[in-house]
Structure 1
């Protein structure tokens, strides 16, 4: 099967999409790291555990929510466990629960206002309401299953 390469216009759209995403995430992650010592991925794990799992959830569920493969999540959780941010425990032979520690909760609470301010500064304040609405519509469209 021969696949037609992306046209110059299609490449511009693809690169613009990726660069926008990567740039904003990098700036927000840098702000969080400078203020709290948490990396962007650590903040992502901690915030999902707190908001969606009430402080704990199955490791496999967390991997799905993060859209990470098992190996990437496992390595990330090992680093976070070594730093005292989370703990993992087996509930039966196969299920692993990931839970926030007291330190993890404290770091997350310190990072939340930094995250909010950074998202506002690096994304929301740079856009009109119409542009924000468009991003939300496009995101919803792209998130739909085929």
Structure 2
């Protein structure tokens, strides 16, 4: 590991990258919350359950998809279960299934158009087609495994 600190230019890039994502995510999350009462994290869990898991998913798989540690997801799911957005079902073998409830699906259905409009307003409409393509290219590069 290097002891060399980031240069001023490297710091500018790092801060721009962080602030860009945080700002857009905060705005979109606020729009969803104001309109539906769902937090951005709840929307993320519900949308993954619905789209990828077809309404249910193993808790560990969901944690991996969210990029969250087991504890963070467990606390989030406890809050969501109390709000009747999800159910947890033990299937034995230390496996827990997270299941989308009817209320969770309804809240997600209510939030999706808000999410779409907010993403368009807070991100897509503010960028040119070329800038959007550049973000996608950078994301693909950063998403690659360094070992490959």
Tell me the TM-score range normalised by the shorter chain: over 0.9
Rounded to whole Å, the distance in 2 between the matches of 1:85 and 1:2 is: 46
Match of residue 109 from structure 2: 109
Rounded to whole Å, the distance in 2 between the matches of 1:28 and 1:81 is: 23
Rounded to whole Å, the distance in 2 between the matches of 1:70 and 1:113 is: 30
**Cα RMSD (Å):** 0.7
Task: Give the match's secondary structure for 2:38.
Answer: coil
Rounded to whole Å, the distance in 1 between the matches of 2:88 and 2:2 is: 47
TM-score, length-normalised on structure 2? 0.97
Residues 128-143 of structure 1: matches in 2 within 5 Å? 128-143=128-143
Q: CA deviation at 1:2?
A: 4.7
Q: CA deviation at 1:3?
A: 1.4
Task: Give the match's secondary structure for 1:54.
Answer: coil
Rounded to whole Å, the distance in 2 between the matches of 1:105 and 1:126 is: 30
Q: 1:23 to 1:79 in 2, by over 3 A?
A: same
TM-score, length-normalised on structure 1? 0.99
Match of residue 76 from structure 1: 76
Rounded to whole Å, the distance in 2 between the matches of 1:110 and 1:116 is: 11
Rounded to whole Å, the distance in 2 between the matches of 1:102 and 1:5 is: 51
Structure 1 unaligned blocks of 5 or more? none
Rounded to whole Å, the distance in 1 between the matches of 2:2 and 2:125 is: 44
Runs (4+) off by over 6 Å: none
Match of residue 120 from structure 1: 120
